[in-house]
Chains A and B, each alone.
Chain A
Amino acid sequence: MEDLDNLKATELTLGLPGTDAPEKPSPASTTGANKRANEECCLPVAKKQVVGWPPLRSYRMNSIRIRKMEAEDNTGIYVKVGMDGAPYLRKVDLGVYTGYKELTEALNDMFKCFSLGGAEGHEESGYAITYEDKDGDWMLVGDVPWEMFISSCKRMRIMKGSEARGLSSST
């Protein structure tokens, strides 16, 4: 008997509870909010979005959130990688690679459809892999020890053409 209700109940909406008024007949404020209660327990995602729930003081909520974020951080060092001319960016987990060679190979693979080709800084191909460090500066990938790189790399960009040639020939 509850199944038909549940079908509607599993519908995700972004509205505040009680604002789906147009869809329910007037005496159904009872069923409406019951559905709301059903929604809450059928959708684990929904409970995260409920303001002021669970009823915990700010200090405790904040420390729970901080611990969760720290836990998530430890499960991968994902950074964005963009390439000039590519219509979308990619994300790589730096934690899975053991060194620059593996990383470059992976990037080659990822972006080969945009004709990256060749190893990093290869002059003929005219591409250089760069990264933004913690200070906000754009650096050439490969200069610093691998461990230092993965701890300071915020994101990467594969530069092409004349800019790249300038970088790779300066060594």
Chain B
Amino acid sequence: MTYFPEEVVEHIFDFVGSHRDRNTVSTVCKAWYQVERLSRRTVFVGNCYAIGPERVMARFPGIKSLSVKGKPHFADFNLVPYDWGGFALPWIVAAARLCPGLEELRLKRMVVTDDGLELLARSFPNFKSLVLISCEGFSTDGLATIATYCRGLRELDLQENEVEDHGCQWLSFFPDSCTSLVSLNFGCLKGEVNGGALERLVARCPNLRSLKLSPAVSVESLNKILARASHLVDLGTGSFAVDHRTDVYHMLMNSFPKFKSLRNLSGFWDASPCCLRAVYPVCTSLTVLNLSYAPAIQGDDLIKIICLCFKLQKLWVLDSIGDKGLAVVASTCKELQELRVFPCDIYGAGTTSVTEEGLLAVSSGCPKLNSLLYFCYQMTNAALITIAKNCPHFTRFRLCILDPGKPDPVTDQPLDEGFGAIVRSCKNLRRLSLSGRLTDQVFLYIGMYAERLEMLSIAFAGDSDKGMIYVLNGCKNLRKLEIRDCPFGDIALLKNVAKYETMRSLWMSSCDITLGGCKALAAKMPRLNVEIINENEETYEFEENLSDLHKLEKIYVYRTVAGPRNDAPDFVWTL
């Protein structure tokens, strides 16, 4: 291959798409490394502290798309202190200096500031797409600078971010000359929205295909927008509650039939059942439906919609759908690939919630089901075993039994056999979240059978260090392991230390890890950052005096070539 001129090699590499393959290709020889690095257009950094931004940009000067992830996943559930880190600014600064051709930036769980957004907006003349997921630290002022300076912006996608509201005028900062928007999602914004500016923006962007509004956008505004945007493929409504006796409601009823291209529907903030009728005309062509923000919709109304959605591939609902509603899903949605059922209430089993019956029905009726997130109050081994048999194609299986450590209610047994069946049957399982009463046995199964598993989330499970050791010794593709409230201690932590260099990260909280254990790990593995997160103010002042036996509340261990980070707050110690 080295006989080929570089352009040919580069052309061949164009067909090598995935990050992993490109990474592999670059290790073959120096020549390939060079060709690969200069022709690389997309870089994904799974842990922003695994490598320094300058090093990435220097190696790949031609990148057009950069994705970076910051905080550990458990930050989503408030387990990571607010100012732990994950700052986007160093990445934006480095890219501004070294990769001015950047067109797309995707950040997840990072702290993004208005200054960072302004620098971003001003530094990249070809910038087209900004996607921020679960980020925080910025305000609508930052969005205003993006709107102002990013000429030719195609995509602004804000998913589940914490955005400080400094007024509604940011939308007006899109100049009249901005006609290039293809995708605009600001569903997570809490403040007022300038309806007029929004309507005008939508009207002048003929390529707009995806629009997701925040709850502050009224139905009246929605009507006006829908009148101008009949080519939408993906719509997230704003507020979807309006009195059925009004003109606004009648207009809404008449809006949807015009949408020939609509495939994805979401939003429905506080939707009322009568408003939901407006979408019946488009249900038969929907592939994605998210009703999980509409707690007022009861099971029967959900069923009325779902029985029209026979092309549905992805469904997110609340557990008010009930087992009965899931049976309707099973009989109607034969194309279903992804199902997420969220709880309406976490304080006790309501009369309408879901059990193993609902999931059983879906598993038997929906042969293409491969991704699941299911919150329920109970699950049985028998059901899981049947589900595993019905759906061997699961790639993501996340089951959350709301009562931690709850056994099979029929047999009073732990759910080891049920989850064991899942990992044995689903050979392509990449992500697994466990719950319910579980012993070390389930981890034995996971270690033995879950060969493709990349991410494992464990809570309130296991009996001893053996559990964690089974996982670390098996699961050869494991990348992320996150554990909370399990009886795993130093012995487990230190049994297979080389494993951590093959993984992106390990999170352990409320387990039995001691300071001594972490010190030993850090000493053996210099290329890992062993971070101790200590929120107990009494102890961190006396760092040096803490005994090695001191139990640690939270640790985060990750491989890195960048050494200990220099932006860690006081309560984070890197050993």
A residues with a Cβ closer than 8 A to B are 16-19, 21, 29-30, 32-34, 36-38, 40-41, 44, 47-48, 50-61, 63-64, 67-68
Contact = CB atoms under 8 A, between A and B. Distances in A.
B510 A41 contact: no
B77 A55 contact: yes
B463 A34 contact: yes
Contacts of A17: 485, 510
A19 B76 CA distance: 25
A57 B343 CA distance: 12
21 contacts: A18-B551, A29-B487, A33-B487, A37-B405, A37-B460, A40-B404, A40-B405, A40-B485, A41-B403, A44-B348, A44-B403, A50-B404, A50-B485, A55-B76, A55-B77, A55-B400, A55-B433, A57-B77, A58-B76, A58-B78, A64-B345
A33 B486 contact: yes
A55 B400 CA distance: 8
List 3 tightest A-B contacts by C-beta distance, closest first.
Answer: A33-B487, A52-B77, A37-B405
A118 to B, nearest CB: 45
A68 B345 contact: yes
Given A16-B510, A34-B463, A68-B345, A41 B77 contact: no
B511 interface: yes
B160 A29 contact: no
Contacts of B504: none
Contacts of A44: 348, 403
Given A21-B551, A40-B403, A41-B407, 20 more contacts: A17-B485, A17-B510, A18-B510, A18-B551, A32-B487, A32-B512, A33-B485, A33-B487, A34-B487, A37-B460, A41-B437, A44-B403, A51-B77, A55-B77, A55-B433, A55-B459, A56-B342, A57-B76, A58-B76, A64-B343
A54 to B, nearest CB: 5
B340 to A, nearest CB: 11
Interface string B336-379: 00000011111110000000000000000000000000010000
B551 A47 contact: no
B553 interface: yes
Contacts of B459: 53, 55
Interface residues of B, number: 46
Contacts of B295: 63, 67
Given A37-B460, A67-B295, A29 B512 contact: yes
Given A55-B77, A56-B343, A57-B160, A16 B553 contact: yes
A40 B134 CA distance: 29
Contacts of A56: 77, 342-343, 346, 375
B346 A64 contact: yes
Contacts of B510: 16-18
A128 B311 CA distance: 69
B489 interface: yes
B74 interface: yes
B406 interface: yes
Contacts of B308: none
B464 A30 contact: yes
Nearest to B404: A40
A59 B342 CA distance: 12
Contacts of B292: 60
A96 B484 CA distance: 46
A21 to B, nearest CB: 7
Nearest to A32: B487
Nearest to A63: B295
Nearest to B373: A55
A33 B487 CA distance: 5
Contact of A36 (B78, B485, B553): B485
Interface in B433-470: 433, 437, 457, 459-465
A38 B405 contact: yes
Task: Identify the interface centre among B76, B487, B553: most chain A CB within 10 Å of its CB.
Answer: B487
Given A54-B375, A60-B342, A37 B512 contact: no
A41 B512 contact: no
Contacts of A16: 510, 553
A37 B551 contact: no
A33 B465 CA distance: 11
A53 B485 CA distance: 11
B437 A37 contact: yes
B525 interface: no
A54 B485 contact: no
B512 A48 contact: no
Contacts of A48: 347
B541 to A, nearest CB: 19
Contacts of A30: 463-465, 487
A51 B405 CA distance: 15
B79 interface: yes
Nearest to B510: A17
Contacts of B293: 63
B402 interface: yes
Nearest to B436: A41
Interface in B461-513: 461-465, 484-487, 489, 510-512
